[in-house]
Amino acid sequence: MARRIEYGESLVRSWRYCVNEARFGFEASNEVGCSHPRLVFMKTLLLLALSFQMGSLAVRTQTASFQLTHKGSILRIKFSPSGSKLVSYSSGNQDLCVWDVKTGRVIWKRPISFIQRADEYYTLDSIAWSPDEKLLATGSANGTVQVWNSLTGEFRWIAEVTKNGVAAIAFSPDGKTLAAVPYTDEAITAKLLDASTGKSITNYSGDKCEHIAVAFDKNGTELRIGDLHSGVSRWDLISGKLTAGSDGGCKSLYSYGGERSYSSDLSLSVRRSTADKVVIENGNGKTIKETKLNNSKLESTINAQAKLAVIGEYGGFRLYDLATGSERLLDDCVSGNTFDLSSDGQMFAQSCSGFKTVIKVRHLATGQLSLLDGHPSNIHAISYSPDYSLLAVAGNDGNAYLFAADSKRLIRTLEGDGNRLTALTFRPDGKSLFTGAENGMLREWDVASGTRLKDVKISDRSDDVERIEASKDGKGILVFINGELLLLNADLTPKRSLTTPEGDGSTSGQMTSTYSSVPISGASFVGDGSTTVTGHWDGSIRIWDSGSGRQIRKLVVADSIRLVASIPARPAVVTVIKEKDRARLLVVSASDGEVLRRTEPFEGSYAEKLMVSPDGSFAAVTDISGDTFIIDLNTMAVREVTRLSGSDSVAFNSDSTTFFVGGANQNLELYDTLSLNKLWQLIPDFEPSPTELKLAEESRRQRQGIADIKSKRDKQASIDVAKYSKQIEVSFLHFGNMSDPGNKKMIESDKLNESNRVTSKKAANTAWFRLTNHSPLPVNIPTESMYLPNPKCFHQFSNGEKLFGSCGEREVGIWYGVKDKNGKWVPYGFDFGSSFNLLPATSVVFPIPLDLLDKEYRIVFSYAFQNVRASENEREWDYGEKVELSIDKKLFPK
């Protein structure tokens, strides 16, 4: 069933980030500025006391059966005509879902990546339901239309419509004909297709406006096409003639691409009229409502009955009643990727969270909120009970699920409040379970009854509880949240936070952050819990007395520690460190810091979780990109589990022979530890049809052909780059002055300006240099600001494609790094920038501050040659490896 949240419950939580002071786990302050650590801890005691007295508001949750949902951002949602169903599309894994809105059940979910050709990155741009809700049509940015059985998800057909994207599609009133319109296409304005077969019926041409909507009239004799600028054109389907609207000329109004929407019958539209105003108007252009635009981009929708409109704005959505003229704020959620109104205007659906793949459905009359989500959705934590009879699983849907470990049968669901669960663990006696949530809430549950026992608010900010661990002696609870570690007593009252006696600092570009305590990257109890081990950003492992909070020893083992865990029954800990772009696992003596064993480097450079098996034989390391590594702690052999999903959690059984794993794939799977064979999974895999397999195989062959072209291109590029890099010249121009780069705009002019002023070196703060491209290919150089290309200046490749860039000699700010005389990087500059194409036989002039060059620093940046892409869908033109350029004062005149 869909989960329901009572109307009025705030979905916005406070967020605060303190720089130059340490932050401790139970900070309850919301005022501007940062609190002293001791005051923070005192406020923590009050916060916990209030939490015990007041408890939390009970929120009704109805749990659907286990089901998958999207794994990435949701880009399209659309109600069915009756409002009983809703379709959603995500580009993350290229899949479609159809939902039963009342129950929250996924009717079907299926991958659709097979509709993409070769290396296309295209997404779905349009969706339409048939009037009887038995068919679903989708239009792709690659110019094709697809039709699906909306009851089963069965793929029916695919048809070519245009070389450009399909902007809009619509079924005729009898459901037999499908109309599709491209954004812009000189050859075609609209195409009619047979809805059952996909065969072309006829084409209409003559209107060259930018189309964004299409509809049949109620009799099915007229086709209406809405464009971005001019309004609605009408075509007689019997005569095939344009009867009203644009005849080829498109009136230009103040609007931006995509910033207009129409009602389903095109009788109303919402558009931007000025930079900060929006108008709602009828088909004749008469204004019904004018309002201020409280957003950088116009996002809007109108219900099918043309009685309600919703406009997205900062902080939520605004609902307009077009009959009464009234308006109200609809929700306190930041405007999301997509939203829709049901045809009758009774429901509003939205996707508005980057951390959840959840769709919120608001019933406008009652305010009731339903959440359409997977179950358990993204899995963030897995834990065995102490006797290994139960397995607890927690994820995005806010519920914790208890399975019988041997039969894998669901025993009980602990129904949460909708907040994403991020950590869990059992008490040593197995009678209760702790869960931690995205809102900093620690909750204890009775395992036998499934009832809540106690709520403790760890943080008043939106911080994930990253780890919970109960000591084996039952005396303490460890809670790790956002770089901070808190130890609780067994009754969940606060004991202390662990803070280092010294502080720490880090510099990135020109910004420096300092901390009064070295931030923690991982933590675990050691043995029975009398001691605690922590890993830190500064590369140290520290052992603490859990009772007193005293630091027993500090062991420096690396430049930075990513993760740390204790090894059961051994006086040693395991830690994951980062070495360049790879990871390495170390076994370290807990007494003197000696590295006892280490693995070879492996790919988990963004390692996120570390788990050790109960007998200390194996460790599992997972990272955010989908890699899960199983490490034998005796031989230090590293093996990778394939086809996992990212941010996975792992739980080994008692003798380490098997392990459960789950993550962003929203599935629970069981593996054999030695063979890494999959033994079981909770939700079965999707089985594609023969037609889909055939299309997928064609796409695979096309991709292989492109890969062969890329291989030949790369081989030739290595030869050309070695030759052409000698034709890129840097020369000293003169001494002068430059303004502060921090005051530059995001988009700057590249006309000669500051470089025109020449001074003596004594009066200068800058040396100006010239970068000239004598090679036959353009080069892409990094810049601090964006410089718009001149449409009159371009390089034309052998295949006719054009790459636009600079004209003649231009002035730019190059985005560079700084190295000292020993070749080590010096913190300098910004952490963001852009790029600029330097065409053949052109040059740019750029400044370097004299104080850098006088310190005998080297200025370093890399450029890339540009050439014909391996395929038209390649996003980059880079040709070969980037080439590093180095500048120092040796270029000054002698």
Mean pLDDT of 262-269: 89
Average pLDDT, the chain: 85
Distance CA 649, CA 628 (A): 9
What pLDDT, on the 0 to 100 scale, is given for residue 165?
Answer: 87
Query: What confidence score (pLDDT) does residue 511 get?
Result: 56
Q: How many CB atoms lie within 10 A of CB 517?
A: 22
Residue 7 confidence class, pLDDT cut points 50, 70, 90: very low
pLDDT at residue 28, rounded to an integer: 29
pLDDT at 736 exceeding the cut of 90: yes
Residue 50 DSSP class? H
The DSSP symbol for 376 reads B
CA atoms 562, 565, 567, 571: torsion sign: positive
CA 435 to chain centre: 25
- The Cα 865–Cα 546 span in angstroms is 58
Determine the pLDDT at residue 295.
73
**What pLDDT score was predicted for residue 19?**
27
pLDDT of residue 332: 59
pLDDT for residue 333: 63
Once rounded to an integer, what is the mean pLDDT over residues 595-600?
Answer: 96
Can you give the pLDDT at residue 49? 36
483 and 466 Cβ atoms separated by less than 8 Å = no
Structure tokens at 410: 């669901």
Alpha carbon distance 216, 235 (integer Å): 10
According to DSSP, residue 687 is labeled: -
Q: How confident is the model at residue 698 (pLDDT cuts 50, 70, 90)?
A: confident
Is the pLDDT score of 638 beyond 90? yes
Residue 83: predicted pLDDT: 96
Q: How do residues 386-398 score in pLDDT, each as one tens digit?
A: 999 999 999 889 9
What is the per-residue pLDDT across 73-122, written as a single tens digit (0 to 9) for each?
888 999 999 999 999 998 877 899 999 999 999 999 999 988 887 667 66
The one-letter amino acid at 824: K
Give pLDDT tens digits for 832-873: 789 999 999 999 999 999 999 988 899 999 999 999 998 877
C-alpha atoms less than 13 angstroms from C-alpha of 865 in its C-beta half-sphere: 28
**Residue 253 clears pLDDT 60, i.e. is over it:** no
CA distance 493 to 522: 22
Mean pLDDT value of segment 577-592? 91
Between 86 and 305, the more confident residue is 86
Asked if 505 and 513 count as a contact pair (C-beta separation under 8 A), the reply is yes
**pLDDT band, residue 525 (cuts 50/70/90):** very high
User: Which range is least confidently modeled, 354-358, 376-380, 418-422, 518-522?
Assistant: 354-358
Which of the two residues, 699 and 394, has the higher pLDDT score? 394
Place of tokens 């005796």: 634
The residue behind tokens 């304005």 is 189
Phi, psi of 714 (to 5 degrees): -65, -40
Question: What six digits make up the tokens of 7?
Answer: 């109307």
More confident residue, 107 or 830: 107
Best CA proximity match to 93, nearest among 77, 62, 114, 108: 114
User: How far is it, in rounded angstroms, from Cα 650 to Cα 376?
Assistant: 15
> What is the Cα–Cα distance from 448 to 431, expressed in whole angstroms?
7
Residues 155-165 have pLDDT tens digits of 999 999 988 88
- Structure confidence at residue 330 (pLDDT): 79
What's the average model confidence in pLDDT over 367-379? Answer: 89
- CB of 513 closer than 8 Å to CB of 504: no
Q: Which residues pair with 465 in a beta bridge?
A: 481
CA–CA distance from 306 to each of 175, 323, 343 (Å)? 21, 9, 9
Q: Which residue has the tokens 């840097």?
A: 730
Q: In this predicted model, what pLDDT tens digit does every residue of 136-156 receive, in sequence order? A: 999 998 899 999 999 999 999
Q: CA torsion, points 783, 785, 790, 796, in degrees to nearest 10? A: 30
- d(CA 3, CA 68) in angstroms, rounded, equals 15
Of residues 10 and 840, more confidently modeled: 840
**pLDDT at 804 > cutoff 50:** yes
pLDDT tens-digit profile of 170-222? 999 999 999 999 988 777 789 999 999 999 999 988 766 788 899 999 999 99
More confident residue, 505 or 458: 458
Give the residue from 804, 806, 805, 793 showing the smallest Cα distance to 751.
806
Share of the chain above pLDDT 70, in %: 87
CB-based burial, 743-761: b 16+ in 10 Å, e otherwise: eeeeebebeeeebeeeeee
DSSP state of 601: P
pLDDT band (50, 70, 90) for residue 255: very low
301 pairs with which residues across the strands?
A: 310
- What does the pLDDT look like over 501-524, one tens digit per residue? 998 776 555 556 778 889 999 999
The contacts of residue 756 (CB under 8 Å, 6+ apart) are none
- Output the pLDDT for position 277: 84
**Which tokens belong to 55?**
């408890």
Residue 630 has pLDDT above 70, yes or no: yes
pLDDT in tens, 667-695: 999 999 999 999 999 998 888 888 888 88
* 191 CB-side CA count, 13 A: 28
Radius of gyration of the chain (CA): 31
Of the given ranges (92-96, 347-351, 769-773), which has the lowest mean pLDDT? 92-96
User: What's the pLDDT tens digit per position in 11-60?
Assistant: 222 222 222 222 223 322 222 233 333 333 333 333 333 333 333 332 32
322-348 b/e with 16+ CB inside 10 Å = b?
A: beeeeeeebbebbbbbbbbbbbbbbbb
Give pLDDT tens digits for 280-289: 888 777 888 8
CA 783 – CA 786 distance, rounded (Å): 7
Domains and CATH numbers, the chain: 1-62+375-497 (2.130.10.10), 74-252 (2.130.10.10), 253-353 (2.120.10.30), 516-645 (2.130.10.10), 706-891 (no CATH)
